[in-house]
Chain A
């Protein structure tokens, strides 16, 4: 009894934290979504969300987030696999993680330099005799930079999953006649799917609400829900509409989390 009481006591700061920094902001967002610019209670924000402008924006957000996640996964899995085979794997991993500590804006500006009219990329193209191209402000540059930024977060969980994979499972598969590819498909990948799921989750959700990058790298050619929220709060001051979009984003995130959650197998 006594110890149980104490345990509850220890939980208090945790619950306070959750309430002040997680639950309260969510409720505030929900609250604001029911007011228009003049501060009148209304459902029009929700009606507006279901107009083609916002639906298209939603679709394009999901599309780009999907693309970014998929490309990041396709690159990250083999990289993580090779990393587990290297001698100083923790060191290599660190080298891949370090760039993620650099501020996102700094990286964005660095890419503006690289992809610009007189940047490194066009310089290299020039060397092989290709005329300067418009690289910045294209879909390509947006996806490229977004993948670059998110890829460490994809590599890390996959690396951990592969690293924890017991080698005897691979021996066992070979022993039972499996080729390298079959071993990968039937044993290695299914046993590391947890890492893949966490990686996708960690990349897809922030990719869905990217904003800064869309303006800096994609030159507002790509308008996502994240950009729209930013615009409503900072430019048009329509907090209600911004909150409404945020509500939908939050719902989407919960759905994705539920979808990618690890199904527990019997202990």
Chain B
């Protein structure tokens, strides 16, 4: 851990009653000033992680550290963290100004300073002039900004955002994604953002934690996670993928669908059973005889920017192709892909083992850093 670390989870487990643990030995570090995203399906434990950081609940075992101090039993009102709740939780009996001023009044700021800070926070989220509005008179997007203003006005070290965009319509959501990212850069404080939307996570984050069933499956930059998913869950959850069974022949050579293909993966035992991932946009339609794979088109769907084409090979595997080229159902076509497009996953490999394998050959691979 370095001294830029602000929050750390050490072996944190959270269990309600005698059920399965909601969080199962979770470890991670959060650095100052970055935009983090917790990504995972509904019920995987994202909100629970935020509640542990905010101090609304305590871990069953393990440690939650802030600045290297154990914070397990520090109450929520003593933590330098503010939350933007999923339903915003704006106080209905207070107007916009008083909602934003709530934290400042508790800290006993002078009236003059409160006014200045609230106005500043509201203009930061483009809501200058809305001070006297009632919360009930604000639209969903505006409420969300009030909730953000209420959090940032206290100048916390960390802001937690629990699916803040999920209630907004698509257009507003995209706009708010830009605004949030921009806001985080301007403030320079740590954002921990929760979503179940992988596109949102990829678009906004410095670092993503992919979570499933109370375990962190993989953490890394959006590009790492997209290009090198550690397992089938991550590959499936982060965008659409073609995943087929294969065998590692030796370094840089993998076999699937009964053929051998050149690849860039190494450090895997020979003849090891593996899963091969190829993203649909990495598959190119070529004439039958030029393809690395020969497939029959099953159906096509026009998606605006591209066609979504579903094909089957003779071994019965399904291949999803995103292409700007058109293909008719029943056509037989060839699919071409670069060696770099192949990503090999070792079944059952944990993130640590995966990272170790990557590091072991990073030394002689200049493209990795």
Contact = CB atoms under 8 A, between A and B. Distances in A.
Interface of A: 166, 168-169, 171-179, 182, 186-187, 190-191, 265-267
Given A176-B103, A191-B92, A265-B136, 19 more contacts: A166-B89, A168-B87, A168-B89, A169-B89, A171-B76, A171-B85, A172-B90, A172-B91, A174-B55, A175-B82, A176-B82, A176-B102, A176-B154, A178-B106, A186-B102, A190-B93, A265-B92, A265-B134, A267-B136
Given A168-B87, A191-B93, A182 B82 contact: no
A169 B91 contact: yes
Contacts of A169: 89, 91
Interface centre among B83, B87, B89 (most CB of A within 10 A): B89
Contacts of A179: 77
Contacts of B106: 176-178, 182
B92 A266 contact: no
Interface residues of B, number: 26
B107 interface: yes
Given A168-B85, A182-B106, A177 B91 contact: no
Contacts of A175: 54, 56, 76-77, 81-83
A37 B76 CA distance: 71
B77 A177 contact: yes
Interface in B70-87: 75-78, 81-83, 85, 87
Contacts of B83: 171-172, 175
Nearest to B95: A265
Contacts of A191: 91-93
The interface residues of chain A, by DSSP majority, are classed as helix
Listed from nearest, the 6 A-B pairs whose CB atoms lie closest are A176-B103, A172-B89, A174-B76, A168-B89, A177-B106, A190-B93
Nearest to B162: A168
Nearest to A180: B77
B132 interface: no
B352 interface: no
Nearest to A187: B91
Contacts of B56: 171, 174-175
A177 B136 contact: no
Interface in B107-158: 107, 134, 136-137, 150, 154
B85 A174 contact: no
Contacts of A186: 102
5 contacts: A166-B89, A172-B89, A177-B78, A187-B91, A265-B134
Contacts of B75: 174
